[in-house]
Amino acid sequence: MKKWVLLSIIALICLVAILLAFGSINILQRNESAPPSMGYIVSCSPVAEEEKAYLKVRIEGEAADLKILLSDPDGTTADEIYVSKEKLLDGVETVKLSMAGYAMTPKAGTYTLLIVKFREGKLVYKKELTFSGANIRIDDVKIKTEYNPYTGYRVEEVNLRVSNSGDIPAVINKAVVMVDHVERISFIPRAIPPKESRMMEILGQAYIIGLERGVHHVTIKLSSGEIELAGYETNIELG
């Protein structure tokens, strides 16, 4: 009887050892296949500042020398930045990565954000961010005109309210104002954040002069590089 009890105890110990070993293997497998984002909490959002579009990235995690890279939908590195260990001593750091060149609207598509431990070359975070693109609309136009008895009527101000219903910033770097067949072009970059609107004065000192009394057709076009973002047509009556 005692022998049978002893054998049972030994068998039970062996079974527990096997289960523990199997559990350890599973834990190791889970750790090995864990995503590279473990250890860092990252949040990001597109922002517009001055005449550029950025991806604002907030990093929470252990202090380490990090290299942060952002590639655009074409797979080209849009920007990269180095964050020293000292800047992460409090566990939090915020950086801005360019999404496109100066005064250019970012492309729609999938961007890839990578965070690498600089010294070890170890990938600690990877995320793909897909954006449908900027969507610009001219909501309102106010045109200021003046009369001069020697030169006739002139258009001296064109003020627009422009909204961006898209999910990335739009950067307008070219505005065209045409009154009948007289055209004026302004190159004054303006960034419109996603889901926001801005007032813009687009004519500057490029007055359109020599206009006669009557109705005139006005066409406005906003562009980013060679891409037209929005257009607007209206009539003004002078006199």
pLDDT of residue 39: 79
Q: Are residues 141 and 203 in the same domain?
A: yes
Q: Are residues 209 and 147 in the same domain?
A: yes
Q: Per-residue confidence of the chain (239 residues) as pLDDT tens digits?
A: 444 544 455 554 554 454 444 443 332 233 333 344 557 999 999 999 888 999 999 999 999 999 999 999 999 999 999 999 999 999 999 999 999 999 999 999 999 999 999 989 999 999 999 999 999 999 999 999 999 998 899 999 999 999 999 999 999 999 999 999 999 999 888 999 999 999 999 887 778 999 999 999 999 999 998 899 999 999 999 98
Q: Which of 70, 101, 131 is the last residue of a domain?
A: 131
Full 3-state SS string of the chain: CHHHHHHHHHHHHHHHHHHHHHHHHHHHHHHHCCCCCCCEEEEEEEEEECCEEEEEEEEEECCCCEEEEEECCCCCEEEEEEECHHHHCCCEEEEEEECCCCCCCCCCEEEEEEEEECCCCEEEEEEEEEECCCCEEEEEEEEEEEEECCCEEEEEEEEEEEEECCCCCEEECEEEEEECCEEEEECCCEEECCCEEEEEECCCCCCEEEECCEEEEEEEEEEECCEEEEEEEEEEEEC
pLDDT of residue 174: 94
Q: Are residues 65 and 97 in the same domain?
A: yes
Please give the single-letter amino acid code of residue 80: E
Q: Are residues 141 and 110 in the same domain?
A: no
Domain that includes residue 91, residue range: 40-131
CA nearest to 118, candidates 145, 144, 91, 83: 83
Q: Are residues 123 and 151 in the same domain?
A: no
Q: Are residues 199 and 113 in the same domain?
A: no
Q: What's phi and psi for 88, nearest 5 deg?
A: -110, 15
Residue where the block lists tokens 């009527």: 153
Say how many domains are in the chain: 2
Q: Which of 111, 131, 151 is the last residue of a domain?
A: 131
What does the block give as tokens for 122?
A: 């170890």
Assigned domain for 18 exists: no
Q: Are residues 211 and 147 in the same domain?
A: yes
What does the block give as tokens for 189?
A: 């970059």
Assigned domain for 164 exists: yes
Q: What Rg value do the Cα atoms of the chain yield, rounded?
A: 30
Q: Which of 101, 131, 161 is the last residue of a domain?
A: 131
Q: Are residues 86 and 123 in the same domain?
A: yes
Check which CATH number belongs to the domain holding 193 and give it: 2.60.40.10
Assigned domain for 231 exists: yes
